[in-house]
Amino acid sequence: MGVVDREDAWQRLGKESFDLVVIGGGVVGAGTALDAATRGLRVALVEARDLASGTSSRSSKLVHGGLRYLEQLEFSLVREALAERELMLTKLAPHLVRPVSFLYPLTHRVWERPYTAAGLFLYDTMGGARSVPGQKHLTRAGALRMVPALRRDSLVGGIRYYDAQVDDSRYTMMLARTAARYGAVVRTSTQVVDFLHEADRVSGVRVRDVEDGREVEVPAGAVVNCTGVWTDELQQLSGSRGRFRVRASKGVHVVVPRDRIVSESGMILRTESSVLFVIPWGNHWILGTTDSDWRLDLAHPAATKQDIDYILGEINAVLATPLTHDDIEGVYAGLRPLLAGESEETSKLSREHAVARVAPGLVAIAGGKYTTYRVMAADAVNAAAIDLPTRVQPSITDKVQLLGADGYHALVNQADRLAAQYGLHPYRLRHLLNRYGALVHELLALAENEPEWLRPLEHAPDYLRVEVAYAVSHEGALHLEDVLARRTRIAIEYPHRGVDCARQVAEIMAGILGWSGKTTESEVDTYVARVAAERDSQSQPDDEAADASRRAAPDVRPHLDALDLGKQR
């Protein structure tokens, strides 16, 4: 998925006919492309921006059954999600998905422990304890030993349980790369600007390269709309009436340094309307999330001061040493594509997914959650198969490992020897293995003629310079934002949010992408403007003001058609 592959993919889009065109490079779109490709179909995946540039890079980074859905009696949804979590942990992507523990603080005596324990017992027996430890009950003293940061009067005891964690944007990118390995044409910065029709059926799409403005028609047996919160807009563009509507719910997360909350475990805290997670993330904690209706710019949802104050207020209610705004390293906001229901409260809208054959040759899928992307993808391909002339094989993605998974466990055991071979600290090598898995050799091979690439970035030392080069040469990154916000997570992990290392990263990218000095300057300026706009939006009192601040930043892709930007939904 490098520069040469990108031009080859464009030529293939214009010359070949596909069984399936998938629109949307989030986790569901990438999963659908992989599902279809491994069933033997000719597949093209197109994404207007970058892989995981929307919801799929802005989640809580959890792969979980949805413990709180048990209270809503969504047993089938929880069971399905736990089965998928098991697959991801043990077979599909052990290099990207790993167990993470949570403390559930108990605040009421007598009734709460048996009530919560019963729910966690259901969680475990539905599949939650197959590849992670089961629940463990703790006294107040035991819970405080596990999480010394808690106020003594904030709990009467606790229960520890396990879920799993993932770097969401890297997982999505690896899904897309795996689909490409099995023959799918994957192309980012490629926007669908129209649909092709033959009589009453959809027969393909017209796409635009938003980097240079070229357009081409892509014929297909069927088209699958996997655009999440943009589902309604794409259905309108197709001229077809949708079978369901999608509501966007904004979820905000705050990132703080690990030493600000002294704890051996993550936490899940009850709030008045939902729950708040305190999630370990390397040298950081992720705190979130909010759940509020969003009707503004779908591309750049903005966090407000009110959102941030809410999160800090909820966590500070139980911490012995409160957090302040000065502790915040990063903030990000994402949009959940919820199926619109009768309730006006987004936290009560369905997390189930829906698939509809909107018109002959056009399928739409929306709703669901990150954990169940594989089930959603299989359902989408099954629905599209009706419009294909040949018999479509059953889904096999439960048996298909993502790139980097094969051999990962052996490499973990060999980490010390590999670190010595490449002149790296063993901790650094393990960090790379948990980002690239068995592809670590491919990554480090890039530094054979550029030994300085094995040095850390000056203002983001958790990442090596070679990771920037690899993001461009193998992972499809085209812009500075792609690297700082998604291939790495520098944009949320450092207080400077990538600004201090933007020039160094851009100069590495320039050498591979052939940027001129002017282009390099433009990339840096655009990224700095993006961060400034986000910071300003996070000081605003409400969504409208925050949205106006965030939209002040220019878009890095010059020929992107503002399909929904700036419109009220």
pLDDT digits (tens, 9 = 90+) for 71-99: 777 888 889 999 999 999 999 999 999 99
Percent of the chain with pLDDT over 70: 96
Distance CA 131, CA 445 (A): 34
Reading the block at residue 527, the tokens are 């990224």
pLDDT at 65: 86
Task: Write down the residue that tokens 């603080």 correspond to.
Answer: 105
Instruction: Please report where in the chains the tokens 């009110």 appear, as a residue.
Output: 306
The mean per-residue pLDDT over the stretch 158-185 comes to: 97
Across 329-403, where does the E strand assignment appear? 330-339, 353-359, 362-367
Per-residue pLDDT at 161 exceeds 60: yes
pTM of the predicted structure, to 2 decimals: 0.96
Q: Does the pLDDT value for residue 564 go beyond 50?
A: no
Under the banding of pLDDT at 50, 70 and 90, the label for residue 341 is low
Q: CB-based contacts of 22: which residues, under 8 Å, 6+ apart?
A: 29, 32, 33, 36, 43, 44, 45, 46, 223, 224, 226
For residue 197, give Cα distances in angstroms to 236, 358, 387. 14, 14, 14
Token pair listed for 261: 């909350």
Question: Tokens 């047993």 map to which residue?
Answer: 75
Q: In this structure, what DSSP letter does residue 341 have?
A: -
Mean pLDDT of 520-532: 98
pLDDT for res 1: 81
CATH number of 3-56+170-245+350-399: 3.50.50.60
Q: What is the pLDDT of residues 384-425, one digit of tens each?
A: 999 999 899 999 999 999 999 999 999 999 999 999 999 999
Mean pLDDT of the residues in the chain: 94
* CATH code matching the domain that covers 408-552, chosen among 1.10.150, 1.10.260, 2.40.128, 1.10.8: 1.10.8
Mean pLDDT across 314-342: 92
Q: Residue 533 half-sphere exposure, CB side, CA atoms within 13 Å?
A: 18
pLDDT (0 to 100) of residue 129: 64
The pair of structure tokens assigned to 500 is 């201090």
Question: Can you read off the two tokens belonging to residue 493?
Answer: 């992990």
The predicted pLDDT at position 351 comes to: 52
Q: Which residues, including other chains, have CB under 8 Å from residue 162's CB and lie 6 or more apart?
A: 99, 100, 101, 102, 128, 129, 132, 133, 134
Q: Start-end ranges of CATH 3.50.50.60 in the chain?
A: 3-56+170-245+350-399
Question: Which are the contacts of 167, defined by CB distance < 8 A and separation ≥ 6?
Answer: 61, 96, 435, 489
Instruction: Report the alpha-carbon distance of residue 342 to residue 348 in Å, rounded.
Output: 9
Third-level CATH fold of 97-165+247-348: D-Amino Acid Oxidase; Chain A, domain 2 (3.30.9)
Domain with CATH 1.10.8 in the chain: 408-552
Q: Which residues pair with 457 in a beta bridge?
A: 460
Q: How does pLDDT run across 238-286, given as a tens digit for each residue?
A: 998 878 889 999 999 999 999 999 999 999 998 887 889 999 999 999 9
What is the band of 347 on the pLDDT scale with cuts at 50, 70, 90? very low
Residue 566 has pLDDT above 50, yes or no: no
User: Can you give the pLDDT at residue 563?
Assistant: 61
Chain segment 460-500, per-residue pLDDT in tens: 999 999 999 999 999 999 999 999 999 999 999 999 999 99
Neighbours of 220 (CB within 10 A): 26
Determine the pLDDT at residue 271: 87
DSSP state letters, 471-486? HHHTS---SHHIIIII
Task: Give the tens place of pLDDT for each residue, 288-313.
Answer: 999 999 999 999 999 999 999 999 99
Instruction: For 442-469, give the DSSP string.
Output: HHHHTTSS-GGGGSEETTEEEEEHHHHH
Parts of the chain belonging to CATH 3.30.9.10: 97-165+247-348
User: Rounded mean pLDDT of 136-164?
Assistant: 97
